[in-house]
Structure 1
């Protein structure tokens, strides 16, 4: 038997008090299906619209190649004009994704298409980020450096999301001094003989469609796979749990700088060492030889 994935609860819409009581306070994920139907973005935002409004912009692209010692933190693998990227998405499967693209910085007029919802948390209004992907492209399993509360709004097509809370970290082959698991684990179809600790993990799964919102509580691991070409926008609110907030401060002001320093000092040997330690530490904790 492999890891257990429970369906994330789904609601049509939700009030602020219901969200705080049922999901934020207990830190449980939820999919809200019909909350943004009155946004202009709900009817306007699709790939063609983005190609029209941002077609001449050069956008950073990422694929699923393993982390290399000579690449900086979140350094893109390629660049392309938005118009050409959308053409690529519609034409054929591609591993290239747009990751953490700040739309207000690049295209301020898109702010007219949405409002910041009041879920009872103070959203960071300068940091709405867009994510695009082609059919069957995916992210590595990871959690965000600031362990924020995340509201993930999906547009066009379908996207599969697999989540784990931080308590599942001992089973996920977390790479030390990083925010990712082993990159060679396929969380959509894991090999439990190669990665036996995964059998003990309990997570959550949901498919998102156009207009759905996924709430991811603080520090949740997430793996995203595009079932069709599409894109999403994330809004975030700072971690409230003091433990998570202290972890976020450590990650931002120490961990990533230490990791980059070690990459420069030891090169690929540092990456290989971390990947090896991910397996050794995980199996040692669980008594797996």
Structure 2
């Protein structure tokens, strides 16, 4: 009887392989936002870009849900996804954009993103999500690898305490949103949930875009291309994969993938933007990869 009840090994292995592929695609898609965002901010104000990105993504997700005749969520589900939209989109992205505006260096900004796994793990302890010793070792190694990769990029900014406060707020909001989505906001249809999240984030950022930035846009072909990439690739593709990954695994396991963001972003900056990629970064790449493997390997 126990033999009949056991799950087939090939099915378990296939599910793990699919999850690894999804995780890899998610990391690559998320990191493409760096060169696209860098191009976009040369033609429009940051909060205006975020408002347009989230608003267009909300419309696309809503259209997809209508075409598929997805089940309408209850008000409680809508409320849960609204909280995620405020935390993971409006506050998180708005905070890091504000930190960059206030003069924080891009290397330090990337370090805030790379520190997400540790922030998520610490918050998880408060919420009852226990980690094994090997996972803590993986988290520490991953963060050390991120620091090695970014070691030469910590300068270049003239930030004060407000900039670091905005970056810290962004980190805490994304960690909180990751946990909240894993625990409370995984019931609704994928398209419906993401439509609500992006719509709420767009509404939250609209006053800043209008009153603080006066909706400053350089309506050029270059900006339109960058915005289209941010909407279709980062928001539609990236957040759909993040939603699916959170449905299938612990929040800390998914967050550990963010250790890969700064190294992969550095590679993309080298390939696309011609930024410097020093040989001294390579040990950091290896350490990050090993740390992510330790932190996310199966029990």
With normalisation by structure 2, the TM-score equals 0.27
Higher helix proportion (structure 1 or 2): 2
Higher strand proportion (structure 1 or 2): 1
With normalisation by structure 1, the TM-score equals 0.28
Q: Greater relative contact order (Cα 8 A, min sep 6): structure 1 or 2?
A: 2
